[in-house]
Structure 1
């Protein structure tokens, strides 16, 4: 008679040990934002991988992988995507311009669902871990909280503290009145309505789902004669 060996308990990896349930509960999000980005999800049932690519560079076909495994050769970030990446990380890094912006967000899909309709972002690639986007001509990255589980600021991120306080993401050349309209339509927070300022901008300030502040504007009409 062969006796069964007792099963070893599974240990939680990375951010699975302490998820930010308060911030990521879909029921707590504005209904409009929950609807946004729905078309980015696959219908195969394999997972929440996002496959939208606006620049014609499609990602490789998805392969069967376990969700929640760590990337090969890495000791840090937890990976949740279930398919092949858009392109190798080292290739993407070498292609970046001198200045880029990286935002660490609770939910990549939710962030994409704000940036695309409200600020007209171009989505090059997005999955549950990462997105490569362009906003106002600036290349940007979005990284999900769980990919930063080995960084020193992971604990403050998962405590739900406000992000980006004291920083403004300023985008010049997008109609602020139209941005305000779209923000209200999609349930986003308008911190300051479209206003003509003394520094020569007509601008609006909107807050994205993670609390980052976007100041969007165009040149204000000149008060001087032509």
Structure 2
């Protein structure tokens, strides 16, 4: 599917499985964060909407104004963080590189890159709206053997 030219109707009809839409204050700010830290692909970028892809998965960003008649908008806090309790996991993204870039660009790192017992090395980075992004990669056999 060509995300740059597909109609909204055809795009919506194509979605299956579980979808993730993030309501954000500013599309450009969120895309700058995602590109700088994770190098995801952005499509159909406007002030109101963007399609973001990573490893064949699709994420949608919607600006607040696009939810004018959506009941969810009334539940969104005026002050950040918006994303409390939500983890957005990006698999096959080096958490050490992501944490370094986050620090260099002034984004909070809640947890530095850490080897976890569930077989992943991951870190937690907050975006400008307070969503927690968790880049991770699979541990090597040597790294796995060192976890107690």
Indicate the TM-score class for this superposition, using the shorter chain for normalisation.
0.7 to 0.9
The structure with the largest strand share of the pair is: 2
- Normalised by the size of structure 2, how large is the TM-score? 0.86
Runs of 4+ in structure 1 displaced over 6 angstroms?
Answer: none
Identify unmatched segments of 5+ residues in structure 2: none
Equivalent residue runs for 1:192-203 within 5 Å: 192-203=111-122
Q: Distance in 2 between matches of 1:191 and 1:88?
A: 38
Partner residue of 2:14 out of 95, 100, 104: 95
- Normalised by the size of structure 1, how large is the TM-score? 0.58
Contact preservation (8 Å) 2:94, 2:136: yes
Aligned to 1:76: none
SS in 2 for 1:217: strand
Partner residue of 1:181 out of 96, 100, 119: 100
> Offset at 1:88?
2.3
1:222 correspondence with 2:144: yes
Pairwise CA RMSD of aligned residues?
2.1
Work out the number of aligned pairs and report it: 143
Aligned to 2:53: 134
Structure of larger gyration radius: 1
Q: Distance in 2 between matches of 1:96 and 1:194?
A: 32
Identify unmatched segments of 5+ residues in structure 1: 1-54, 59-85
> Offset at 1:56?
7.6
